[in-house]
Chain A
Amino acid sequence: MAKLERGSYKGIWVIAEIQNKSIHSVSLELLSKARELKQQNCLHEPVTAVLLGENPDAYTGILSEAGAEAVIIAQHPALEIFQNETYALVLQGLIEERRPAVVLMGATAMGSDLAPTLGAKLQTGVAAHCVDLRLNEKEDLVAVVPAFGGKVLGDILCPECRPQMATVRPGILAKPVCYRKAACKVEQYNPAEALKKDSGRVKAVSFIPEEMKGVSLEEAEVVIAGGFGAASHEMWELVEQLAEVTGGAVGCTRPPLDAGVRQRRTDDWDKW
């Protein structure tokens, strides 16, 4: 494990995610959180959003409103559909060159795959599925993670390696703040060099959006949740009916999931 000079790593980065032609809400939540951490701890480096993909330019406005003071854009046709290998290679190149102290991502399907891939390439630690973030007196990142089905919360630190990485669940941090008219430096980064390292062993072929049924959990104002008592098909039916009449989303704890009455949908990742 490479132990690095901590001091040479500075600033907070958020790897932003584009989903359905807009920035995922968790990326915005993270940017606002990063700004808050920066202000509370009087950091100097600008809060930076990194955006990969094809034609990502259109999103800089919304990123800066949520708190980004700088945006790095890496455009390339090879980045059109998410591939852990290419995305991680590009980010690895960037991070090794620019040395951010903290790198944050949403604990989305993409983030949950990309963060550990990148962490392994950089040989640094990743705190997974965090529910809160703070900096301690040494300016080290303290990530709070749930354990045993949320029964306990544990702090995770990464004091000796850089960058310190974390993924955060969507909809858990405060809603993004609006930073109007903030200055934002936009920079294009050419990923071609990094992509040369891609062996091509992972190839994305297609991307098929699923039709959304009901309201997604992160965006829902009302969540109807079922637990142990609803772990039967009859009871679950009631939960779904109630969600429908209240215009809410459906959530559950582990027992209904284990009992198979609640099908885990892709958008349910770990929200229990």
Chain B
Amino acid sequence: MELKIAVCIKSVPDPAYYDKITIDAKTKCLTRKGVPSIIGKGDKVALEQALKLKEKYGGKVTVIGMAPPEARFEMKETLAMGADEALLLSDRLFAGADTLATAYTLAQGLKKMGSFDLVLTGTESADGATAQVPAQLGECLSMAHLWNVKQFSLLSDNEIQATVGLEHAVAEYIVCLPAVLGIARDAGKPRYITASGIKAANCKTCKVMGNAELQAEENRLGETGSPTWPGDITIPSMKRQGRVLEGSPDVIVEALTAALRVAGINIQRKAV
């Protein structure tokens, strides 16, 4: 049985550079200058699952992303990792999308690419991190969907069984295909990209598509199509009150345990 699998990959600012992100006091806009983009680790975990499925059952892995045209580089990275083809949805009309508009746009892109048995996403992106796109993508595609899937297996041609992580619990579900699965971050370590994978990526196609070709309803795209609107941005004060204890170690320990006790923390003596 051959599987047609799509994986949603979001290009995000590298978290290692978050200290370079600043807010313009006047425009309240975030400046991301000098902050490189990467693929969030969670999305690579989803891609890994797709590649494993393809290795097992055969088929094709298609990657889709909605981002500015520079993200072609990240798309190429997914091809180097082993995906077969990529579609980058890029258009000024898509900008400013909230999760609903994002899900709608991705759904339209996927419909353009054909039909899929499985659509995999990360559980949450590394930047917006709303974790809402997987479910809303499922709704937009009228597919069954699950979120935070820790593992899954095919039961038959049209059913999968999946383990979903909940708080202090896991639940097992049986889901009809086609389905959208938000893959948990700990579902499996993504593979490293090989140099031959990079070479092979040169022969694969990364299509960049704007709305002229996508032909989605304009009033459901980008800022216009987003029910949520961003308001003010603030930088929370993270200042902590510090207190320096002085004296000999004994005195300090005494003062420290006293202070902790006042704060309601009891240190139990315990061999560790």
Contact = CB atoms under 8 A, between A and B. Distances in A.
Interface string B1-39: 000000000000101001001010000001000000000
A244 B270 contact: yes
A148 B272 contact: no
B249 interface: no
Interface in A121-171: 121, 123-129, 142, 145, 147-161
Interface in A90-127: 108-110, 112-113, 115-117, 119-121, 123-127
Contacts of B166: 82, 108-110, 207, 266
A38 interface: no
Interface string A25-53: 00000000000000000000000000000
A245 B132 contact: no
Interface stretch (A67-75, A173-181, A183-191, A198-206): A198-206
B184 to A, nearest CB: 8
Interface residues of B, number: 71
A167 B272 CA distance: 39
A71 B148 CA distance: 30
Nearest to A126: B132
Given A125-B100, A155-B231, A241-B272, A109 B167 contact: yes
Interface stretch (A5-13, A55-63, A209-217): A209-217
B144 to A, nearest CB: 4
A116 B21 contact: no
B212 interface: no
B185 interface: yes
Interface string B139-153: 110011111100000
Contact of B168 (A1, A142, A210, A248): A210
Contacts of B145: 84, 117, 202
B266 interface: yes
Given A246-B265, A270-B129, A258 B220 contact: no
Contact of A117 (B136, B148, B231): B136
Nearest to B99: A116
A83 B173 contact: yes
Interface of A, secondary structure class, is: mixed
Contact of B232 (A154, A161, A267): A154
A128 B132 contact: yes
Given A117-B139, A202-B175, A203-B173, A264 B230 contact: no
Interface string B92-108: 00000011100100000
Contacts of A19: 167-169
B100 A157 contact: no
Nearest to A136: B231
A154 B130 contact: no
A151 B173 contact: no
A51 B7 CA distance: 35
Interface of A: 1, 19-20, 81-85, 108-110, 112-113, 115-117, 119-121, 123-129, 142, 145, 147-161, 200-210, 212, 216, 221-222, 241, 244-248, 254, 258, 263-264, 266-267, 269-270
11 contacts: A81-B171, A109-B164, A112-B147, A113-B148, A119-B227, A124-B100, A148-B15, A155-B233, A159-B229, A204-B171, A270-B124
Interface of B: 13, 15, 18, 21, 23, 30, 41, 98-100, 103, 124, 127-136, 138-140, 143-148, 161, 164-176, 179, 185-186, 219-220, 225-236, 260, 264-270, 272
By Cβ-Cβ distance, the 6 closest A-B pairs, closest first, are A155-B231, A125-B227, A128-B130, A125-B228, A120-B139, A116-B132
